[in-house]
Every structure is written in structure tokens, then in C-alpha cells.
Structure 1
């Protein structure tokens, strides 16, 4: 059987897309698995990728993974290289505004318009909502005049900010860092006014029915890809330190943030 691979969540630039393809092709050769990299355009929901019966390797956010029945098989988690990740398989959400705009602090954006990606997203919905909880009060249960979405992807948030459709929006920190590797990327026109607490990063999964004869060699090959000298340039282009086994228990934090927001009646970032 043939299997498919896709890294749309972190294929945020043409160069990142090419580098992920290089890694997937190396993993296919190293593992002996018939693994083909495919496109999954932003016009299609991520859920269509995650539910493919032939998914061999695809990035999945921890929040929808926790909700999935049956759950896809965890393979490996990426460890971003920049210092702010501390050599861990974690990431944050940057709450960003126009670089030359009027807002210097998070609090200054209150009363304006906030965007979000999709409800099932950790970085684009759950993390900013959790971060904003401490700013709410009985006198001010709503922080923003409007909550605008779904904007679907980090690039959708960037475009909404640049077009003036929103005043502040959430960006997956790793995606934001990858965008800014390109000196010409529009993301350079944005700046962060706050960063959420770290959370376990999206990881690479295979379909729930993918057999161990496939998942085990794929996992071993991805772990080797994080160390291989042949992929040093690709890892550099992806700000990728290495891959590590997935610590499933760490993702309980995402459900805890969900419960905290629900207990306070905070349905979405607003």
C-alpha cells in the first residue's frame, strides 16, 4: 500500500514547503515505506487530511487529536531551533498587530477587533483564549468589540491584519518564525504585543489504521532525520533542531485550558 505525507501546518513559505518535501523523501527512502508527499491546499479543511485512510505522515494539532475518535497514531514531534523554545517540543502563540500600528501593548487592543483561525486550533483559538482569561472580569466579560473568524490559517491571520479586517490576531509561533525567515515575507510588517504560555507542539501522525510495520520504521526514520548530516541544510531552513518521540501525557494541558475557559463561560477569544 502507498501512503501520503503532508506538512501544510508548517509549509508557510515556498522554501519551507520544499524543505519538508526533502525531509519526507529522505524518510521514505530511509524507512522503505512507499510514502509520497502530496499537496493539501488551504482551500481544503485540515480535517480532510487527518481523516485520510492512507495518511502516513502529517502534522496535526494536539487539540483536534485529543478529540479524534479514533485517534491518529503519533509518530514524532518537532523541536524548533530558536532559543525561545528551550530545546523542547513546545510552541507558543504570538498575539500580533501591525508593526506600524497604534497598539503598543495587548491591553491597548481591548475594545477593538480580534481574529481567530478555527475553533479546533490550539494556537489560533484555545491558547489566546486561555491567555486572555486573566484579563476578564465581571465588569468586563468581553474584551473585544468583535471576534472575527474563522481565518483558517496563520497566513489568513497575517492577511486579515494587513488588510485592516482585524486589529490583533494569534499566530502559531513556529509558523511566524518560519515566515520571517524570508526577508520579503509580509509577516515582517507585524509585531508581537504578547506571547502565551508554551504548550506541546503539533506533531506528525499517521492514520489510525496505519500498521506498526509502517509506523515503526517511519518513526525511526524521522528520529534519524533529525540527526542526519544529509538533512542539515533542510533543518536549517526549517529552524528545526530535531524530532523527538511524542509525549502524549503533555497534551493533557490543552484539555485543562479548555476546561478553564468553559468553567468561566468564555466560549471564544472576544
Structure 2
């Protein structure tokens, strides 16, 4: 008799951007549960609950984690990397990478030359897409420009959108995959915005599982994730999420993010 696999949680918190988008993630999680024979409990862990609390759970089965905090953990403390998404968007170039869109108000007359002198918004300090990416972009365009006025934490893309809509900031950064999901399912949310630039790519946030789960459970979940694109119903779910599929994460790529963050700090010399 086959031993039942350990139950676990699934959470799309990082990309759980609206009820309509959540439905698509739930479809994926239900598919993964059936395919892997792992009983997945879908939880929202909605903002403002700290993501760090979610990532510390011993029952994580399929949970999105930003690559930057993942990279800062010692190897023996990291959750198990299961899979990295590959977006259908042009900016992915068919690779498991993402970027951030630098956004301003749709009716603002700003161009790239104006950006160093504007009010910048940021989400949280341990975010690659909402903090390191815009700082890196600023460092590349600012030269010796004085420190920008910054506003944060804005927590997530919704906070950036609202801050621009209410004129609390002039410019912010939104995870390009989050932007893609909103374009697919909630285009009205993006109505106040105009993309003025896109940052350098970085390794895509990855799906992770807890190290405390049995190896058999994590292996079954990983196999199911890597197989989604091979079935017609799986491909339909992926299309609704703007994804081509999932691939094995290149852990060494994430390991480069702390050095990249330090280079940003050095280039800005305390200006942000």
C-alpha cells in the first residue's frame, strides 16, 4: 500500500493581485494537487501579513519567494527550490527571468531625462523588483545627481499604483510579471500608469517548499510543476497566467543577487 504524501500549503501571495487572478492560481494549485497526490491547502496570507512569516512555515508546499531574500539565506537555511516560471512576455526572452517596469502617471509629461529629479516610490527593502531594481535603474541614469526624494514602504504593486494615482509619488517600479497579470485580468487597474522604461532582468521569483517536508512530497510537487506544460489542461491554466511553463531553478543565478545589491549600494553612495 502506498504511503500518503504529507499535506502542505500553497500560496500565490506575491502574485495574488486580485480575486480574478487568485482564481487562476487556485486552478493551478488544484491541478498540482491532483497530479502530485499531495493534499495542498490554499492559503491567502494576505497583505499586510509579513512574507517572512510565510517563508518560515514548516508546511510550505508550493509558495512564491522573491529571489533576493532567498539568496541571502545560508544554503542549509533555504527552503527547497522547486521551479522557476517562464513568462510568455517578450521581456523574458524565453528564460526564467523577470524585470521591473518603471512607471509614471499616464498623463505626466516626464521623459527619461526627468527621472533623477522626481519623487520615487518603493515597496519593501528586501524586494528585488520593488527596491533593488529601481535603485539599480536610478544609479544607471543619475550620474552625480543628488539623492532623490523617496516614499515607502508602499508594500506591493497596488501601493505603487495608488501612490501614483494620488500624486504621492511621481515614479515607481512594478514587477513586470505582476504588470503582465494585471494586463491580462485587471487592465483598468493600470489605467493611471505609463511604462517609461524597463530595468535589467533578474532571476524570477521561485516556487519553494519547506525543508521539513518529506523528500517524497517535495519531489512529487517538483515533478508536477515541471510537467504542467505537457498536458492540454495544464497549458490552458498556464496561458491564463501568462506563462510558458516552469523550469528547474538555477540556484547559482540567485546567488549573484547579494553582490549585485552591494554594487548598487556602492554606486549610490548613500543617495538612496
Question: TM-score, normalising length from structure 1?
Answer: 0.93
2:87 to 77, 80, 100: 80
- Residue 158 of structure 1: how far off its partner (Å): 1.0
1:56 to 58, 61, 67: 61
Alpha-carbon contact 1:65-1:71 (below 8 Å) kept: yes
Per-residue displacement from partner, 1:161-197 (whole Å, max 9, x unpaired)? 1111111000000001111113642213211111111
1:228 to 206, 231, 255: 231
How many pairs were matched up? 265
- Residue 239 of structure 1: how far off its partner (Å): 0.4
Alpha-carbon contact 1:227-1:242 (below 8 Å) kept: no
Q: Does 1:242 align with 2:239?
A: no
In structure 1, the gaps of 5 or more residues are: none
Counterpart residue number, 1:199: 202
Counterpart residue number, 1:44: 49
Residue 102 and residue 136 in structure 1: after superposition, are their counterparts in 2 closer, same or farther (change >3 A)? closer
Q: Does 1:261 align with 2:267?
A: no
- Residue 207 of structure 1: how far off its partner (Å): 1.4
User: What SS class does the counterpart of residue 63 from structure 2 fall into?
Assistant: strand
- Residue 31 of structure 1: how far off its partner (Å): 0.8
Question: TM-score, normalising length from structure 2?
Answer: 0.92
Superposed, 1:181-196 pairs within 5 Å as 181-182=184-185, 184-196=187-199
The answer to which structure has the higher helix fraction is 2
Counterpart residue number, 1:171: 174
Give the aligned CA root-mean-square deviation in angstroms. 1.6
Per-residue displacement from partner, 1:93-120 (whole Å, max 9, x unpaired)? 11100111121x2321332210001000
- Residue 265 of structure 1: how far off its partner (Å): 4.8
User: What SS class does the counterpart of residue 123 from structure 1 fall into?
Assistant: helix
In structure 2, the gaps of 5 or more residues are: 1-5
Residue 267 and residue 48 in structure 1: after superposition, are their counterparts in 2 closer, same or farther (change >3 A)? farther
2:118 to 105, 108, 112: 112
Alpha-carbon contact 1:180-1:188 (below 8 Å) kept: no
